Amino acid sequence: MTQVISIQPVTRIEGHARIDIHLDDAGRVADARLHIAALRGFEQFVVGRPAEEIPRIVSRICGICPWMHHLAAAKAIDNCFAATPPPAGHLLRELCQVLAHVHDKILHFFFLAAPDFLLGAAGDYAARTIMGLARREPELAAEVVRMRQLGQTMLERFAGKAIHPVAAVVGGFAKPMSEAELRDLQAGGQALLDFACRALDYAREKVFARFEDDDLALGTIATGFLGTVDGQGNLRFYDGVLRLMRPDGATSEFAAADYARHLAERVEPWSTAKMVYARAWNEGFSLDPEAPRGVYRVNTLARLNVCDRIATPRAQAELEAFRARFGRPAQGTLLAHWARLIELVYACERVLELLADARIIDPVVRTPAEPRAGRGVGHVEAPRGTLIHDYTTDDDGCITRANLIVGTTHNIAPMNLSVRRAAAGLVAEGEIDAELLNRIEMAVRAYDP
């Protein structure tokens, strides 16, 4: 008889998930699986809708990163209708995207993940929260809460709606930026950048410096990586080519529109979530923990692994230090947190860079579009990883087919491997208690599913 231990729900992540740990007669881990079960049905219910409405429908896939879905869909529908946004349209969209990255990274690091490191993985669960952090370090917590709010209100003041946005429209953006808004955003952007640098210094001292070998080994697996870079190999969030890296570091690049030739989706009989694997490697797919095949990761760590450099100075300096220490590709699952804060610095620097581009206040922000039959793929880098939206329209410009690959879908396979690895490593050491189970969850939390 095997025994199954469930962790339900996996907490401090977005949405519902469960971990089942299967033990054999000897009490060793026979298997461990992460279940994410929900039938949202977005691919179904966008069918028949006028394509220009899609960006404001699919945002509801995720309330933490609605801008990413909003923008990936807007880019895809541009392509369906062959509408090319004017330069200001793209710049404004990207500005919103990087601002959304800022709030997301603060949320994920400080609200969801940091309690494990700053308050201890063991101990009373009720204290291991942002509320506990507020009691232990009230100034830090207050600043974190305010900076997140600042990022969100900057978005709301300029773009109307911050959660489930509406301002990106087929052909560009719904409103231009005024001089007054520009100055307001510049001041906010500078405050965010200062905070991001302090946050990284703080985390380096209080969290990352204490990463023991044990921590780095937690849930560590050897996989490939996927992310987005520009023609010079610089890290990009909004556009660029997809770069797929093998576990040994060799890379290949492709346009997002060709994703189906390089990536493939499949459903495992035990899971209710789709998985994606690297079709281009021609090795099929296997979740065998000893010899996984076709498995790659997306998200913060993946992006920093695949890019050659970051085009903004502070983030680039951090990347160099990170790489000098962990090599390329870095495989440690918990390093995703470190990468997250480097990306936070990049996002803030990018906000200021975009605001310094004179074209951003150009009043021409949208190219009128004509509905037509077509197919369009749009992609962006979401905090959780590469996000691909693929739509087909009929003659009236209404959706006939949709395929969505979200960050978590790419990461389901590696998360399962990490959970299995973490469980096997920890359970062998002894009694199964609350701390041990939380450590297994930490391997999932690093992915920010």
Q: What single-letter DSSP state applies at residue 366?
A: B
Instruction: For the CB of residue 321, give the shortest distance to other proteins in the complex, in Å.
Output: 31
Measured from the CB of residue 121, what is the shortest distance to other proteins in angstroms? 10
DSSP letters spanning 291-356: S-BS-EE-SHHHHHHH-SB-SSHHHHHHHHHHHHHH-SS---TTHHHHHHHHHHHHHHHHHHHHHT
If one asks whether residue 40 binds ligand SF4 (CB under 6 A), the answer comes out as no
Please report whether residue 27 would count as binding ligand SF4 according to CB under 6 A: no
| Six token digits for residue 103 | 């709030």
- How many CB atoms lie under 10 A from the CB of residue 26? 6
Using only C-alpha atoms, the chain has a radius of gyration, in whole angstroms, of 21
C-beta of 108 vs 303, nearer to other proteins: 108
Kindly state whether residue 175 participates in binding ligand SF4, applying the rule CB under 6 A.
no
- For other proteins, the closer of residues 119 and 229 by Cβ is 119
Residue owning tokens 């556009």: 239
Q: Is residue 116 a contact partner of residue 445, using CB atoms and an 8 Å limit?
A: yes
- For position 38 contacting ligand SF4 by CB under 6 A, the verdict is no
Q: Which of residues 132-161 bind other proteins (CB under 8 A)?
A: 134, 141-142, 145-146, 148-149, 152-153, 156, 159-161
Compute the C-alpha angle 408/409/415, nearest 5°.
65
Cβ-Cβ contacts under 8 Å for 271 (sequence gap 6 or more):
33, 35, 36, 412
Q: Which residue has the tokens 């199964």?
A: 432
Q: Which is nearer to other proteins, 142 or 187 (CB)?
A: 142
Nearest distance from residue 58's CB to ligand SF4, in Å?
11
Nearest residue to ligand SF4 by CB is 60
Binding segment for other proteins (CB under 8 A), chosen from 24-32, 192-200, 265-273, 418-426, is 265-273
Q: Which is nearer to ligand SF4, 161 or 323 (CB)?
A: 161
Let me know: does 434 contact 120? Beta carbons within 8 Å.
no
As measured in angstroms, the least distance from the Cβ of 8 to other proteins is 5
State yes or no: residue 426 binds other proteins (CB under 8 A). no
Give residues 57-76 in contact with ligand SF4 (rule: CB under 6 A): 60, 63
Q: How far apart are CA 34 and CA 412, in angstroms?
A: 8
Told to check if 246 binds ligand SF4 by CB under 6 A, we report: no
Size of the site for ligand SF4 (CB under 6 A): 3
161 touches ligand SF4 by CB under 6 A: yes
If one asks whether residue 112 binds other proteins (CB under 8 A), the answer comes out as yes
Q: Does 3 bind other proteins (CB under 8 A)?
A: no
Pairing assessment for the beta strands 251-254 and 241-245 based on DSSP bridges: antiparallel
372 near ligand SF4, judged by CB under 6 A: no
| Best CA proximity match to 219, nearest among 113, 295, 332 | 332
- Residue 424 makes contact with other proteins by CB under 8 A: no
- Out of 187, 222, 255, 267, which residue is the one contacting other proteins (CB under 8 A)? 267
Q: What is the DSSP code (8-state) at residue 109?
A: I
Q: Specify the residue, 17 or 229, whose C-beta has the smaller distance to other proteins.
A: 17
The residues in 274-303 that bind other proteins, with binding defined as CB under 8 A, are 274
Separation CA 144–CA 148 (nearest Å): 6
Token code pair at residue 400: 């006939």
Which CB atom, from 60 or from 246, has the smaller least distance to ligand SF4? Answer: 60
Helices vs strands, H then E, count in the chain: 15, 14
Q: Token pair for residue 143? A: 């600043």
Residues found near ligand SF4 in the complex (CB under 6 A): 60, 63, 161
